[in-house]
Amino acid sequence: MNRIYCCFPGGKHKALTMSYDDGRTQDRRLVDIFNQNGIKGTFHLNSGLFDRGDRVMPEEIPSLYAGHEVACHTVTHPTIARCPLPEVAQEVLEDRKFLESCTGYPVRGLSYPNGSVSPEIEKLLPACGIRYSRVVGSSDSFALPENPYRWQATCHHNHRLLELGEQFLGLFKKQYLYLMYVWGHSYEFDDRDNWDLMESFCRMMGGKEDIWYCTNIEFMDCMDDYARLQFAADNRFVYNPNARDCWISVNDQAPVCIPSGQNVML
């Protein structure tokens, strides 16, 4: 029987994603650093706080975050584990509605404001159209998320960023999939005067042939697409019912692309 491994797009076995909260004006500089190095990020915005003066403006969202992902952070950034569930649902859904009016695509990601979450909120989110949500803290790990509604990043950018980045670059065992996930707030670079940290990290990580650079939702969609692949009982062929191509490794040979809507002999 063929031995099948799933791969990231292009047959890669490593992925890098970034995640930044609050939509502060410092996102403009951060996005520019990402774009210069071919790195993708997810930006979690509060649609009810644009009038504070330290946030990006709604009209610049389409151009500023082009090529990246805009995701929810609730309308007003409450500590939602203390709120009634109907209020939580409104905070998420109204945030989605406003952000979707700016972006023109379904907004399906969330990061918990103040890191606040409960089991009841986790159960609520799928009904609100949310596919994943990030918690706070650092795992110091390159493992894939076991629970996408308690998705913990590898590290905050002020926590061992360059050290972990070097470890990630050195990973070579292709029998595993690895994910490096960095989170934070762009205003923290001004607070600590350490923009050079992110500039150094992105220069070090960008342009690598074995890394897939993705947003949070692109990563989750890739995993969902793979889960929907339909393999023959003896792994001799596979059908891809998805709208996107998928990539697999067969018997440790060169990666194979499974085109969208096609049945492929292996």
Sign of the CA dihedral 54, 112, 159, 176?
A: negative
Query: What is the per-residue pLDDT across 209-258, written as a single tens digit (0 to 9) for each?
Result: 999 999 999 999 999 999 999 999 999 999 999 999 999 999 989 899 99
Q: Is residue 242 assigned to a domain?
A: no
Q: 200 — phi, psi (to 5°)?
A: -65, -40
Q: For residue range 123-169, list pLDDT tens digits in order.
A: 999 999 999 999 999 999 999 999 999 999 999 999 999 999 999 99
Range of the domain at 206: 12-216
Label residue 98 exposed, middle or buried (CB < 10 Å: 0-12, 13-18, 19+): buried
Whether 58 is covered by a domain: the verdict is yes
The answer to whether the CB of 177 falls within 8 A of the CB of 13 is yes
CB 216 within 8 A of CB 18: no
Residue 235 falls inside a structural domain: no
Asked, for residue 105, whether it belongs to a domain, the answer is yes
Q: Which residue reads 């404001």 in tokens?
A: 113
- pLDDT tens-digit profile of 3-60? 999 999 999 999 999 999 999 999 999 999 999 999 999 999 999 999 999 999 999 9
Please say whether the beta carbons of 18 and 40 come within 8 A.
Answer: yes
Taking Cα atoms as reference points, which of 104, 82, 80, 101 lies closest to residue 90? 80
Q: Nearest 10 degrees: CA dihedral of 142, 145, 148, 151?
A: -40
Contact status, residue 152 vs residue 144, Cβ threshold 8 Å: no
Output the CA torsion sign for 32, 73, 205, 198.
positive
Q: How many Cβ atoms sit within 10 Å of the Cβ of residue 16?
A: 25
| pLDDT of res. 154 | 98
Is residue 6 included in any domain, yes or no? Answer: no
pLDDT value, residue 110: 98
Mean pLDDT in the chain? 97
Q: What is the pLDDT of residue 105?
A: 98
Q: Considering the domain boundaries, does residue 156 fall inside one? A: yes
β-strands 178-184, 14-21 pairing: parallel
Tokens of 50: 């644009």
Number of domains composing the chain: 1
Torsion sign, CA atoms 203, 204, 210, 211: negative
Q: Six-digit token pair at 173?
A: 């065992």
pLDDT band, very low/low/confident/very high, at 87 (cuts 50, 70, 90): very high
pLDDT given at position 199:
98
The three-state secondary structure class of 223 is helix
Is residue 152 within 8 Å of 145, Cβ to Cβ? Answer: yes
The CATH number of residue 58's host domain is 3.20.20.370
- Which residue type, as a one-letter code, is found at position 250? V
Write down the pLDDT at residue 94: 98
pLDDT at 46 (0 to 100): 98
User: What integer is the mean pLDDT of 186-207?
Assistant: 98
Is the residue at 256 inside a domain?
Answer: no
**Average pLDDT of the residues in 184-195:** 98
Amino acid at site 27: D
Residue 186 lies in a domain: yes
